[in-house]
Chain A
Amino acid sequence: MRVPDWFVLDPCAPVRIGPRDLPGRIWTASGCFAYGLSGHDIGSEDIASPYAGVGAVVTKTVTPQPRPGNPMPRLVELSCGVINSIGLENVGFAAFVEEVLPALEARGVPTVVSLAATRPEEFGRMCEELYRAGRGCVHFHGVELNLSCPNIAEGGHDFGSDPDTVRACLAAARAALPDRALIAKLTPNVARIVPLAEAAAAGGADAVAAINTVLGLDVDLRTGQPVLPRRFGGYSGPAILPIALAKVDEIVRGAGVPVIGVGGIEGAAEALKFFALGAVAVQVGTAQMRDPFAAARVARDLRRSVPVAG
């Protein structure tokens, strides 16, 4: 596609998020590119690496303890998107700090660590540890608090939809980790998202990422039962782009906090729509499952608008 005249950013130039300069505005979204250690050995005819030009990899969400995740099936593939119920399968925070973070640093992967917990103190404790463990890591740029994963059974308590809780989580993380970018990932499954963005900013977030997946369900017509054992999952993919754009617009115009756009980006055109609304960066998620090079292609295609120096 031709990049429109109004788009004058270099997607691969440093972008300031709070106390850090990240190396670009096109990122991969949490849960869609594992920990940032996969795919380094693959190339394609037209692009060198899935990581080429990618400003940050937001890791798969890490929790205080290892989690085995949800039973299968975990994915429902639909015509315009995917419903997932992975259940935050991950190696746990200790193994992440000991094994994954050093490997990301050695690989030179620009990293934003996605964290989930059930109490503000747990976010604080993990961020304290990351402050210590990440001190020498130049590629560790920040953390993203996953406040909105709808695929965990929480006894009806919706963690990320209460502004006071959101603010407390951000404040705990901010106090423990003053020198890295702090991002709050927000759920769209609320009537009003602006108060949540404001609460995140009041707690010390440098930016908010909007949106996480949309609550979804599919039914198996053979059995009459929901396809997913946990009934609900998180819907993502091209279908949610207009929802994400609407939420981003609400936050940009209604809350004084930088916004990272995420939801339904397939290529450069969708990324441009988020930038048009004022997003400072974007994340490519579900498209990474179809094409490991999706984010790298967005960066490359948007870069075509950048004048050659000299």
Chain B
Amino acid sequence: MGCGYGVCKGCVVPVWNGEGGVRNAMSCEEGPVFDAAGLAWDRFQRAPANAGKELA
């Protein structure tokens, strides 16, 4: 974990957002313990959809 108080975005884990999608939850603010059923397990260690593409 980096900062530990929500400023560096270094500790995110993918969680279901309740609308069928995924959002990043910060372990320092919403964790470090998570409900296993809420975690988007298949998103761990995988590049996001925009990986390698332009910013826009």
Chain A interfacial positions (CB closer than 8 Å to B): 31-34, 38-39, 42, 60, 63-65, 67-72, 74-75, 77, 82, 84, 86-89, 116-119, 122, 152-155, 229-230, 288-290, 292
Contacts and interface: CB of A to CB of B under 8 A. Distances in A.
Given A118-B55, A229-B47, A34 B6 contact: yes
Interface in B15-56: 24, 43-52, 54-56
Best-buried of A67, A71, A77 by chain B (most CB within 10 Å): A71
A42 B4 CA distance: 13
A252 B51 CA distance: 37
A89 B9 contact: yes
Contacts of A86: 8-10
A288 B43 CA distance: 29
Contacts of B48: 68-71, 87
27 contacts: A32-B3, A33-B7, A38-B7, A65-B56, A67-B50, A67-B55, A69-B12, A72-B13, A72-B45, A74-B11, A74-B12, A75-B11, A77-B2, A84-B2, A84-B10, A89-B9, A89-B24, A117-B55, A118-B54, A118-B55, A153-B52, A155-B52, A230-B47, A288-B7, A289-B2, A289-B8, A289-B10
A308 to B, nearest CB: 34
Given A63-B55, A65-B56, A32 B45 contact: no
B12 A89 contact: yes
B13 to A, nearest CB: 7
Contacts of A229: 45, 47
Contacts of B50: 67-68
A70 B4 CA distance: 19
Q: Per DSSP, are chain A's interface residues mostly helix, strand or loop, or mixed? A: loop
Contacts of A39: 5, 7
Nearest first, the 8 closest Cβ-Cβ pairs linking A and B are A289-B3, A75-B10, A34-B7, A153-B52, A68-B48, A118-B55, A118-B54, A75-B2
A4 B13 CA distance: 46
Is the contact region of chain B dominated by helix, strand, or loop, or is it mixed?
Answer: loop
Contacts of A88: 55
A134 to B, nearest CB: 22
Given A67-B55, A71-B44, A75-B10, 16 more contacts: A32-B3, A32-B7, A33-B7, A34-B7, A38-B7, A39-B7, A68-B50, A69-B48, A72-B44, A74-B9, A75-B1, A75-B8, A84-B8, A86-B10, A117-B56, A289-B4
Contacts of B7: 32-34, 38-39, 288-289, 292
A64 B56 CA distance: 6
A72 B55 CA distance: 19
Nearest to A68: B48
A237 to B, nearest CB: 11
In this complex, the member of B44, B45, B50, B55 whose beta carbon has the largest number of chain A beta carbons within 10 angstroms is B55
Given A70-B48, A71-B45, A75-B8, A65 B55 contact: yes
Nearest to B8: A289
Contacts of A153: 51-52
Contacts of A68: 24, 48-50
B15 to A, nearest CB: 12
